[in-house]
Structure 1
Amino acid sequence: MAVYFNIIIPFEKFISELKDIIDKNSVNLYAEYLNDKKGFYYELIDPKSENINFFSNKDYRGFFFSSKAVEIKDGNLILGKTSKKDRISFYDDALFDYCIEGKGGREDQDNIEIIKLRIISKNPDKQIAKFYNSLQNTLKKTEGVNNGLLIENYFDSKVFYFKTDKNMLSDFDKKDVKYSEQV
């Protein structure tokens, strides 16, 4: 079973809160896109950039943290000469032990989408597992972060959030599925 946690936070704030941990753990951030013409394609994201907005791209599908550096050529992931395929994905055997999958993070003036993070592998690389634990520990210690929200009739204890007046959505495309604080 995959290990996961969720957070409701503006993506720029998420990256700014965690960029030291990203750097300290030598982890790379990749954006995943999908469209009919190119299929899946990827971009390496610099977490130190002042302009983190890849999630607003209409083709945005998700993101990955990886403790294994991956070359990107024409939007394709290339693992070098060790790979038998020209194109690979983060779910391939050569990579999934080194990755955390991320979904969500989109935002508009009224809504904010949950960021869903999960370790893909049952036996993750030690470096990516350490990074994942550091993410959670940092969030637990960050001022203003709360834990646990209701989604419909289910209490999700694995969700962190900052208080917001925006609708906290499970999925940006299904705006009727909202998180709320337990009363």
Structure 2
Amino acid sequence: MAIYFNISMPVMDFLTESHKTMLSHEVKLYAEIFVDAQGERQYSAFESKEIELFASYFDDTAYNSFFFSCYPIQDIKRLNEFGYFFHVASSDSIEVNGGRETDKSRELIQMRMISKNPNKQIQSFYRALQRDLKKISGLQKHPQKNYFYLPTEKIIIPANSHSQHTRDNWEDFCLSRMESVK
């Protein structure tokens, strides 16, 4: 059973807030970017000195997701060929989707502990990260839905809506679906 935590906040704030927790728990953050239509991937590790570069991946149309891991990633070539979760034990990782933001909308950041039996290091990190994020000044819990958010005039849309097999712009597709439900 996956354990989810959803939050809506600017990705720069998310990266800044999670950095100190990553350091204290020896966890790394990686972005997964699709390089071509055949599904080849590129992985980039988060470096605190390059926070703007890492945050820029969220504006890239090839951005897929990112993940926290305490697993030592050494064979990046195999990762690029088959994908992270194909080779690495999910007990060492937290998958994260979403985080895109435009002038009209903000996509939820959805974290997911995949393993039913996560290792203690990643489990401890996940609990600490949630606790730290909930302490952010001004953070609120949505009264009907299960997510936390920093107030914004933007429309908060579901995480990873851009991967729902559409040829339209991910934001327009999601906003049009939300309007048709109303």
Length-normalised TM-score, structure 1: 0.80
- The letter of the residue matching 1:162 is L
| Offset, 1:147 | 1.0
Percent identity between the aligned chains?
32
SS at match of 1:106: coil
Kindly report which structure 2 residues correspond to 1:62-77, keeping only aligned pairs within 5 A, or say none: 62-71=65-74, 73=76, 76-77=78-79
Measure, in 2, the Cα distance between the counterparts of 1:177 and 1:37.
28
> Which position in structure 2 is the counterpart of 1:25?
25
Superposed counterparts of 1:86-125, under 5 Å: 87-92=81-86, 94-125=88-119
Is 1:46–2:40 an aligned residue pair?
no
The structure with the largest strand share of the pair is: 1
Q: Residue 107 of structure 2 contacts residue 157 of structure 2 at CA under 8 Å; is this kept in 1?
A: yes
Cα–Cα, structure 1 residues 24 and 167, in superposed 2: closer, same or farther, change >3 Å? Answer: same
Q: Are 2:79 and 2:87, in contact at CA under 8 Å, matched by a contact in 1? A: no
Cα contact 1:169–1:177 (8 A) shared by 2: no
Q: State how far apart, in whole Å, the 2-side matches of 1:60 and 1:123 are.
A: 28
Distance 1:167 1:120, change over 3 A: same
Q: How many Å separate the matches in 2 of 1:122 and 1:90?
A: 18
Cα displacement (A) at 1:88: 4.7
Distance 1:47 1:104, change over 3 A: farther
The aligned length equals 163
Counterpart in 1 of 2:130?
136
TM norm structure 2: 0.80
Segments ≥4 residues shifted beyond 4 Å:
none
Conserved in 2, the CA contact under 8 Å of 1:90 and 1:96? no
Alignment RMSD:
2.1
Residue segments in structure 1 that go unaligned for 5+ positions in a row: 79-86, 150-154, 179-183
More helix by share: 2
CA shift, 1:49, in A, is 2.4
Task: Name the counterpart of 1:83.
Answer: none
166-175 vs 34-43, which moves further:
34-43
